[in-house]
Structure formats: structure tokens, C-alpha cells
Amino acid sequence: MQQSLLVSVPEEIMDEAPPKSVWQYISAYWTMLCEMYYSKPISHWILLFLSSMGMLVAFPASSLLSRIYFANGGKSKWIISWVSVAGWPLIAIVLIPSYFFLKMFPTPLDLKLTLSYVVLGFLTAADNLMYAYAYAYLPASTAALVASTSLVFSALFGYLLVKNTMNLSIINSIVIITAAMTIIALDSSSDRYGYITNRQYIMGFVWDILGSALHGLIFALSELVFVKLLGKRSFLVVLEQQLMVSLFGFIFTTIGLVVSDGFHGMKYEATTFEGGENAYYSVIIWGIITFQLGVLGATAVVFLSSTVMAGVLNAVRVPITSVAAVILLHDPMSGFKILSLIITFWGFGSYIYGSYSPVKKDASGSIS
């Protein structure tokens, strides 16, 4: 049964005849929303709101910082990958005192849970490296649009692994978003930077799609870990999961950075970075903070809601990133890219409709 925010709608609402006017429809929908709101404590909605804002603000900021890094003299994909997981101690700073204040103990680590953290950490490290290549070769607005395919993969993997809903509306959204990405691919000449070769642009496109596929898989596996191994007991579980996944991702990425002599390269890049060392380390530090806040927000949304909700928010950040990149980084915005953005947004709408509209009640009275 799909887990979503639609958890408990009164039976009398479900049994009513379809509204005969717009006002009746709005009234029935408003009643349903009120029931949804009162079905959870206020702390649930506050945490969900903060987690959602973490995704919608921190993720676009981290994407822009990645592009700023490469545009101003940064070269290492491993450094950007390392930045995305180097903020794991921030979670520990929040988690450890919480044990004392809430008088709770850490979740015991068994073999299955530890292996799941190792696997998710490795996949996260690989995913970050793929996205680093994408932002090295693509404009931020284009990279964000291509990354919207993660919604497609979230739907597919959510259906295969977590048994989330897959209906005609969601299939329609997959087709629409795929068409939008095709338009972007055919319009590659309009937004390719002069110093980027055609082969590099194509590779950036490919790495972006592969990273999006892996991103969707990570979302589904995270929800599976919550449901099968952790039991979705408390918000502290989210902090524990994110801490362990980021820690193992940090270990894998640090190994790659050491092998590629990345730490020595970081010192060299700081001296040659456009804007100076202060600007370089500001990009690195804020990148660490925003990456961690964004991923933590995404993990929390999966915990508090579902893979569907996380996928929707992950998709909504696409137009935010694209518009911000055009305004702040002066990314090119061709007619084809605007068309692709509109079509992608259409796909988002179809996905949301397919995920939340077919509301059916099971034997217990809950909504699946």
C-alpha cells in the first residue's frame, strides 16, 4: 500500500456523490485537507514544512554553487563530490544532544542495517560524482532540467521496490518528461559554453541522466530501509540514517579524493580561483552546508511522507534552479529550453495528479 499524506479521510466524504458545483467541490476538498491536517500532530507538519523548505532552498543553492565552482576555475569533480558529503558532522551535532534531551537511545546496528547504510553511502558517493560531471559541462539551468528525470526513476523504483502507485497519469508524466529531455538534447547548440566541446556536453547530459536514475533508486531504497528495517519510529531515525549514509559516502569519496590527489589540488585551485582564496573557500563551505541540508530535507520527507512526496519536491526545485541560474548566473534561456521547462512542469502536474488523486480506502479505513 502506498504511503502518503492522504492517511485518513472520513467515510462520509468518501460516500458522498460527486459535487455538482465548483463551490461544492472546493468545500469537499477543503474538508478533506482539514481531516488530513488533524490526523497528524502539529509537530509532524512543522517538520514536514522545514524538510520541504530544505529541499526547495538548499538543493537549488547547492546546484548554483557547483556551477559557480566550475565557472570560476574549479576543475576537480572529486572535490565537488566530497563537498556534498563532508557536512556529515553537522547531523551529529544535532543528533547527539537529542538523545539526552529526549531520553532515547541510538537504534541498535545489526548486520542488515549496517550493510544498507554502506550500500546507500556508496550509491550516494557515485551519484554525487555523476552530478559533478554534469555541472562541469552543462549550464546549471540545463543540468537542473535534465535532473528532473529523477522523478521518472523515483516513480519506477518506488513502484518496483516499495509498491507505490503506478497508474496512467504517472505513466503519462514519464512520457512527457522524457519528451522534454529530448527537446533539450536537440537544442544543445544554444546553451553550450564555448570552452565545452560537443563530446563533453553529451557526456554531461549522459552523466546527468545516470545520476538522476541513481537518485531515484536512492529515494526508493531509503524508504525501503525505513519500512523494512527501521519501522519509521521517530524523527531521530531520520537523523541516524542520514548520518550513517553521509559518513559512508564521505569515506568512499575521501578515498577517491586521496587517490586523485584532490586535497593538494584544492590548495592549488584556491590560489587560481577567480575572486581569490576567500571566494573559493566560501563556495566550498556553503556548498558543504547546503548539500547536507538538502539531502537531510529529502530524507526527512521520505520518512514523514513517502517517496512520492520527495520526488515531487525534488522535481519542483527544477524551475526554481533554472530561473535562479538565468537571473544570477546569466544562463542562456532559449525558446526550446522554455518549452522544455513548460512541458516538464506539465509532467510534474500529471505525476502529482496520478499520485494523489486515485484515493481508495482499504479495509481499515485508511487511504492507500
The per-residue pLDDT for 366 is 34
The per-residue pLDDT for 7 is 38
Q: Specify the 3-state DSSP secondary structure of 231.
A: coil
Handedness of CA 300, 51, 251, 81 (dihedral sign): positive
Q: What angle do CA 226, 231, 232 make, to 5 degrees?
A: 65
The per-residue pLDDT for 175 is 82
The per-residue pLDDT for 361 is 38
Query: CB under 8 Å to 325, separation ≥6 — which residues?
Result: 63, 64, 67, 139, 140, 141, 144, 331
Per-domain residue ranges of the chain: 49-356
Low-confidence ranges of the chain (pLDDT < 70): 1-22, 24-26, 28-30, 32-33, 35-38, 184-191, 232-234, 302, 306-308, 310-311, 315, 352, 355-368
The per-residue pLDDT for 355 is 64
